[in-house]
Structure 1
Amino acid sequence: MQKILYYDCFAGISGDMNLGALVHLGVDPSYLKAELEKLKIDGFRLEIKEDKRRGISGIKAEVVIDNPENEKHRHLHHIESLINDSDLPERVKSTSLKIFSLVAEAEAKVHSIPIQKVHFHEVGALDSIADIVGAAICLDYLRVDKVVASPVQLGGGTVKCAHGIMPVPAPATAEILKNIPVKTGLVQYEATTPTGAAILAATVDEFTPVFNLDILKVGYGLGTIDTEVPNVLRVFLAEEEGSVQDVIQSDATLLECNIDDLSPENYEFAMDLLFAAGASDVWIEPVIMKKSRPASKLSVLCQPTDTGKMKTILFTHTSTIGLRESLLKKSALRREEQVVNTPYGNVRVKQSFYKGKIVNVKPEFEDCKKLSLEHNISVGTVQSSVYKRMGNGNK
């Protein structure tokens, strides 16, 4: 059976409601707090307590800022450095950066400024950093196979933002939720914030009002306002009916460009940005262009919805002046990740399945490298210990 996380956004979603819901669903609050400390920034603490909204019990998660008057405003590159320089797992970093990129792109479009010029007056604050990185930590902890959500309730009335008094939804929220089903008018306040919208847009695989799952557990994250409509985000941990398909098919976009005038070190920087923005794969091939000029073909594979972001990075951070774009059908084997305890420490292991059988087992190289350095042994020795513990000593 496939494990599913389902967001029931009947009353909207915010960053703190999301944290509360996922903790109520089963994320260890001590683990969440310890992982947030890896950001290595002071000045905030996460408070988690049980409470009720209209008689429904759940978790209220609140990021408390010690000295809000001293809170600094940040640009996207500040936040990227903060996350990339942390000791958080790579999957958490990638998800966090993807969420922040969505908010930055929305703000950049609303203000008609370059993405790196966006001034994170709200999202750059410590509470939003904790909400977004915390969301990525919680999703990584739950290790679900798929994230699904209902149409998103936006609320009604007006909201005060940097642009003045605006009708709900706020401009950034409306931009982030393009092509995502929404509802309005259930309540007369901002039910879905830009942070909540970005968490959904970055992590949800499918939006559907149809719920055809076997429920395992329910969690409630509480909002601040208490109105006639319970101000809660409801989440379900569920199993999908039927067997898991081992070959997963999806649409993908392939972007290609030939470059003969870019310094080699610039490629690594561009590739890092592309992966952080959600690229499935990035690679470089040597080619010969006209007049026998040696060059490199830079290729990017991504989800169709991420095509715009990839084009922006390629045109901004490489010397290309043109791209080729193709829509492809992508087939991928179902993968699962487990943690294997070896004599040297824990190693994450990815397993791929085909026709119900494991066809590939791959220890996470970064984990093996870290243990290799800690114990002054070869990476191969660590990998062998993983296979031995898994009963695959001949690998």
Structure 2
Amino acid sequence: MTSLYYDCFAGISGDMNLGALLDLGVEAAVLRKGLDRLAVEGFELRIAPDRRGGIAGTRVEVVVTADTASPTRSPAAVRDLIGRSGLGRRVEAFSLRVFERLAAAEAKVHSIPIEAVYFHEVGAIDALVDVVGAAIGLEQLGWPSVIGSVVELGSGCVDCAHGRLPVPAPATLELLQGVPTRRGGVPFEATTPTGAAILTTAAERFEAQGDMVPQRVGYGIGRRDGPLPNVLRLVVTAPDPGRREELRLLECNIDDMSPEFYPHLLDRLLTGGAKDAWIAPLVMKKGRPGILVSVLCEGCYEPTLTRLLFAETTTLGVRRGAVSRTALERTVRSLATPFGPVPVKVAVRPDGSRQTKPEYEVCRSIALERDLPLREVYRELERLLEENDGT
């Protein structure tokens, strides 16, 4: 599995995203065929080369025919429309999640129940095309691991169904909670609610552009002119085998300390800054059984952890040395379950496959609170993870 970097230096909208995906190599014929399965009439998808600020890319425009009104739709109507499309589990699941996020944002902004939301701009034909088209494009790319950049919001005001509002629109800001943003780069709305919903549904994390090995670059051309080229840049990068870290290893041998003290020692080391700490049995001089205490840490924690080893153990000396390790990229995401939200660790292996694992302590708490066997809790969470894989 490759990675896909969303470089939103000039914001993101649904049509810019479609253009960038097509510019990367997503086949227009496959996109059109998939959108036909929505059974939505009255629009034309225009795809053409274009440029902004000297940057060439692909422009996508959803043109609604003059004799077709753009209807409002409830969340239930959108779910029914996408559910009947037969586009496939992953495409349908991603599309529904985008609209669920949009509905939740609108509901919070207006303080109404989610099912009372009636989409205006975001529920119209163009947004359906943008959202479902994004899912079709990501599937053609093999559902890459998506990383988002800092997101440009723009400035000024935007006219919408609720009147004239300052940029960013309230729903956009709601969708981008926890996402690094900046504003003022362009004198117009740079990121739309649809663009924000697509991005935050797809992205596993957000970070400034770091080291990467670009393989392909695509540009989605927007409709505006400004001080920044109105384009969305997508970068396909080679799989990352892992992040190399330079760390310190502290060790000591102990043969005269009560075993009762070791759990306390490990807790103190881990809360004191250690990346990892462990003990292992060994045979010391004169054949005496002993314990090897090992601590892995960043250099800045070495003095503190050394003092902890002397304070909490009977050792008379601590060995230290430099070590390198390659660590897989890891994130924590929240999984919606019948037990409530459960944090899940997600690691990306060198071949691009993902390794997921629910947090043990949370699973144990659920098992105790509900009087369930721990293995049943894990089994249910693994089933949910499998259903949500790739979406």
Partner of 2:238: 239
Q: Percent identity?
A: 45
For the Cα contact (< 8 Å) 2:95–2:132, is it kept in 1?
yes
Instruction: Measure, in 1, the Cα distance between the counterparts of 2:94 and 2:137.
Output: 11
Partner of 1:319: none
- 1:241 CA drift (Å): 3.9
Matched, 1:226 2:307: no
Instruction: Measure, in 2, the Cα distance between the counterparts of 1:251 and 1:107.
Output: 26
Instruction: Measure, in 2, the Cα distance between the counterparts of 1:230 and 1:329.
Output: 38
Partner of 1:137: 136
Partner of 1:43: 42
Greater mean alpha carbon deviation, residues 230-239 or residues 141-150: 141-150
Structure-2 change in CA distance of 1:115 and 1:51 (3 Å): same
Partner of 1:117: 116
For the Cα contact (< 8 Å) 1:156–1:190, is it kept in 2?
yes
1:242-391 equivalent positions in 2, closer than 5 A: 242-243=241-242, 250-251=331-332, 253=334, 279=336, 298-299=338-339, 307=341, 328=343, 330=345
Partner of 1:203: 202
Q: How many residues align?
A: 276
Larger radius of gyration: 2
Residue by residue, what CA displacement relative to the aligned partner does 1:99-137 show, whole Å, maximum 9, x if unpaired? Answer: 111111111111111001101111110001000110111
For the Cα contact (< 8 Å) 1:247–1:331, is it kept in 2?
no
Residue by residue, what CA displacement relative to the aligned partner does 1:234-261 show, whole Å, maximum 9, x if unpaired? Answer: 11011144359998754355xxxxxxxx
Instruction: Measure, in 1, the Cα distance between the counterparts of 2:238 and 2:204.
Output: 15
The root-mean-square deviation of aligned C-alpha atoms, in Å, is 2.8
- 1:330 CA drift (Å): 3.7
1:23-172 equivalent positions in 2, closer than 5 A: 23-67=22-66, 70-172=69-171
Residue by residue, what CA displacement relative to the aligned partner does 1:271-291 show, whole Å, maximum 9, x if unpaired? Answer: xxxxxxx74xx5xxxxxxxxx
Residue by residue, what CA displacement relative to the aligned partner does 1:26-60 show, whole Å, maximum 9, x if unpaired? Answer: 10011001011111121112110001112211000
Instruction: Measure, in 1, the Cα distance between the counterparts of 2:346 and 2:215.
Output: 29
Please tell me the residue identity of whatever aligns with 1:44: F
Instruction: Measure, in 2, the Cα distance between the counterparts of 1:32 and 1:246.
Output: 37
For the Cα contact (< 8 Å) 2:241–2:351, is it kept in 1?
no
Instruction: Measure, in 1, the Cα distance between the counterparts of 2:7 and 2:173.
Output: 19
Paired residue secondary structure (1:218)? strand
Instruction: Measure, in 1, the Cα distance between the counterparts of 2:240 and 2:351.
Output: 18
Unaligned regions of 5+ residues in structure 1, if any? 254-277, 283-297, 301-306, 308-326, 338-350, 355-365, 367-395
TM-score by length of 1: 0.64
Instruction: Measure, in 2, the Cα distance between the counterparts of 1:143 and 1:162.
Output: 36
Please tell me the residue identity of whatever aligns with 1:88: L
Q: Which has the higher strand share?
A: 1
For the Cα contact (< 8 Å) 1:249–1:329, is it kept in 2?
no
Unaligned regions of 5+ residues in structure 2, if any? 244-325, 357-386
Instruction: Measure, in 2, the Cα distance between the counterparts of 1:228 and 1:247.
Output: 39
Please tell me the residue identity of whatever aligns with 1:184: R
Please tell me the residue identity of whatever aligns with 1:139: L
- 1:71 CA drift (Å): 2.2
- 1:70 CA drift (Å): 2.0
Please tell me the residue identity of whatever aligns with 1:75: S
Structure-2 change in CA distance of 1:334 and 1:93 (3 Å): farther
For the Cα contact (< 8 Å) 2:107–2:113, is it kept in 1?
yes
Partner of 1:312: none
Partner of 1:178: 177
Paired residue secondary structure (2:2)? strand
Instruction: Measure, in 2, the Cα distance between the counterparts of 1:192 and 1:137.
Output: 21
- 1:144 CA drift (Å): 4.2
For the Cα contact (< 8 Å) 1:213–1:240, is it kept in 2?
no
Partner of 2:291: none
For the Cα contact (< 8 Å) 2:242–2:327, is it kept in 1?
no
Instruction: Measure, in 2, the Cα distance between the counterparts of 1:110 and 1:352.
Output: 35
Instruction: Measure, in 2, the Cα distance between the counterparts of 1:163 and 1:37.
Output: 31
- 1:334 CA drift (Å): 5.3
For the Cα contact (< 8 Å) 1:212–1:241, is it kept in 2?
no
Please tell me the residue identity of whatever aligns with 2:56: S
Instruction: Measure, in 2, the Cα distance between the counterparts of 1:154 and 1:331.
Output: 29
Partner of 1:383: none
- 1:229 CA drift (Å): 1.7
For the Cα contact (< 8 Å) 1:35–1:88, is it kept in 2?
yes
TM-score by length of 2: 0.65
Structure-2 change in CA distance of 1:133 and 1:246 (3 Å): farther
Partner of 1:321: none
Instruction: Measure, in 2, the Cα distance between the counterparts of 1:8 and 1:178.
Output: 18
Structure-2 change in CA distance of 1:239 and 1:166 (3 Å): same
